[in-house]
Amino acid sequence: MPAREEGAVVRARNETGRESPRDVWKADALAVTYFTRSQLLLAASLINCSMENATDFDMEDTIDMDMEESEEYGLHELAIYEVIFWCIMYGVVALLAVGGNALVIFIITTRPRMQTVTNYFIVNLAVGDMITGLLAIPFKFQAALFQRWFFPDFFCQLVPFIETVSLSVSVFTLTGSAVDRFRAVIFPKDAKMTQHTARVIVVFIWGFSLIGSLPYGMFHKVYDLAEEFEGFNESHYQCRPMFPDQNWWKGYNVYLTIIQYFVPLFIVDGAYTVIAVKVWLTPPLVDVRSDPRSALFEASKRRVVKMLVIVVAVFTFCWLPLETYLVLNELRPRVNEWYYINLVYFCCHWLAMSNSCLNPIIYGIYNEKFQREYKRVYLRLRCKKQYEGVATSDNEMTATFVGENEENGSVSNLNTPVNRSLMSSPSHLNKYASWSKALSGAHDYIASELGHD
């Protein structure tokens, strides 16, 4: 989706007033190239070159926006501290998206008790979000910041295609997960979704996303602005969508906006709203004051409601600004003449990309099973480091101790009854472990009744 902002159509002329002859399609004897006014301005402002040195022509004569009033165009030029700031912001999101979602995938694939139907969707969502962190975020940020394409030509087709596929997979998986939870809560007596059905749905999601994203892989091309405009004294490569028909391009953008945002948002919001109302209004089976299990049920119920509200709010909040910009870009192209439009775009795009790293955090806060697994992985890594250090120290101490006693003719027996008793668990610890296990089982039962895996 973020690649769609590249499609505002402007008519470009060089300093002699002639229309650009290369990579254009004739329509009513007018040559049209597909790139935004803001992107052409960024090409002159964000690479630390002055307007005169970079283009050597006046932007009023160069870009014809078919406006009634023609004014001198200009964009906010990013200062060095702003470039550093956005590099850090995008870098943090990319690292969290890759690391967090990789951790989710590792936990679910290596823990049999975590391999549930709902977690099939969570793994698929994590895969899509991780791909976004690996490809969509760094490549898109580089292209928007420098307005140059530094990579091989085939990446120009691969990156937008993979980006759109990963975003489609994430959105459709979120929708499928919402529908699954809706069925589990509203129709608990119906047959639950099997793992085979979940796998079929995941395959369908990927197939639909791949087919729907093909145009971005087919029509993106690398071209040189130096061959388009006489004002560029050196090669200036850019990766742009080259669609043969403007109406087809707009129709495709409308299709993506509806399919990738508004329809999923309607389904997700509706499903989670009904779930929240159902869970909130479900009375406890017994009196809360007389049964601790009922108190635990009430606490878990409100925790689930809070998580569902946050999932919906985060999804809506992260994607709404970018989708609004994309719609305005099609309906009101003059939005691109705002002085700070490049900063607005960075904010909208960064916020949308940040949704890829927030889901693992939400799981860790509001899902008891993921909390336990996160802690288990953390303690395992921490104990491994401590164990390696302690093991080295213990080996040295044991060798010294045995050596000294061998010299004295006596070696202590570490397997005496006293030592074995010290290694056994006290009775009160056994009771605590049994109570903790029973409490964890009660919570899992409540979560399964709520359809919350």
| 288 has pLDDT over 50 | yes
Helix (H) or strand (E) holding 40: helix 37-45
Percent of the chain with pLDDT over 70: 60
- The torsion defined by the Cα of 28, 30, 31 and 34, in degrees rounded to 10, comes to -80
| 340 has pLDDT over 60 | yes
pLDDT recorded at residue 353: 87
| 207 has pLDDT over 90 | yes
| Phi, psi torsion values for 212, nearest 5 degrees | -65, -20
Residue 333 per-residue DSSP state: G
Among residues 349, 277, 312, the alpha carbon closest in space to that of 5 is found at 349
| 103 has pLDDT over 70 | yes
Q: Are 275 and 308 in contact (CB under 8 A)?
A: yes
Q: Residue type for 293, please?
A: R
| 216 has pLDDT over 90 | no
- The torsion defined by the Cα of 337, 340, 345 and 348, in degrees rounded to 10, comes to -130
CB atoms within 10 A of CB 156: 23
| 363 has pLDDT over 60 | yes
- Compute the average pLDDT of residues 69-81: 62
46 Cβ contact partners less than 8 Å away, ≥ 6 residues apart? 77, 78, 145, 146, 147, 342
**Which is it for strands 25-27 and 63-64: parallel, antiparallel or unpaired?**
unpaired
3-state secondary structure of 138: helix
Calpha distance 292→296 (Å, rounded): 6
- pLDDT tier for residue 349 given thresholds of 50, 70 and 90: confident
- Domain locations in the chain? 80-375
Residue 181 structure tokens: 């939870």
Whole-number Cα distances in Å, 311 to 271, 277, 304: 12, 15, 11
Q: What is the pTM of this model?
A: 0.65
Whole-number Cα distances in Å, 268 to 77, 136, 253, 303: 39, 24, 22, 19
Residue-wise pLDDT for 370-403, tens only, equals 888 888 888 888 887 665 555 555 554 544 444 4
Q: Which CATH number applies to 80-375: 1.10.10.10, 3.40.190.10, 1.10.3720.10, 1.20.1070.10?
A: 1.20.1070.10
328 Cβ contact partners less than 8 Å away, ≥ 6 residues apart? 335
Residue 2 per-residue DSSP state: G
Q: Mind giving me the DSSP string for 384-442?
A: HHHHHHHHHHHHHHHHHHHHHHHHHT----TTSHHHHHHHSPPHHHHHHHHHHHHHHHH
pLDDT recorded at residue 60: 37
Among residues 318, 324, 375, the alpha carbon closest in space to that of 352 is found at 318
In 213-340, which ranges are continuous DSSP H helix? 214-219, 225-228, 246-257, 263-281, 292-331
Calpha distance 327→261 (Å, rounded): 12
Interhelix angle 117-131/80-110, nearest 10 degrees: 150
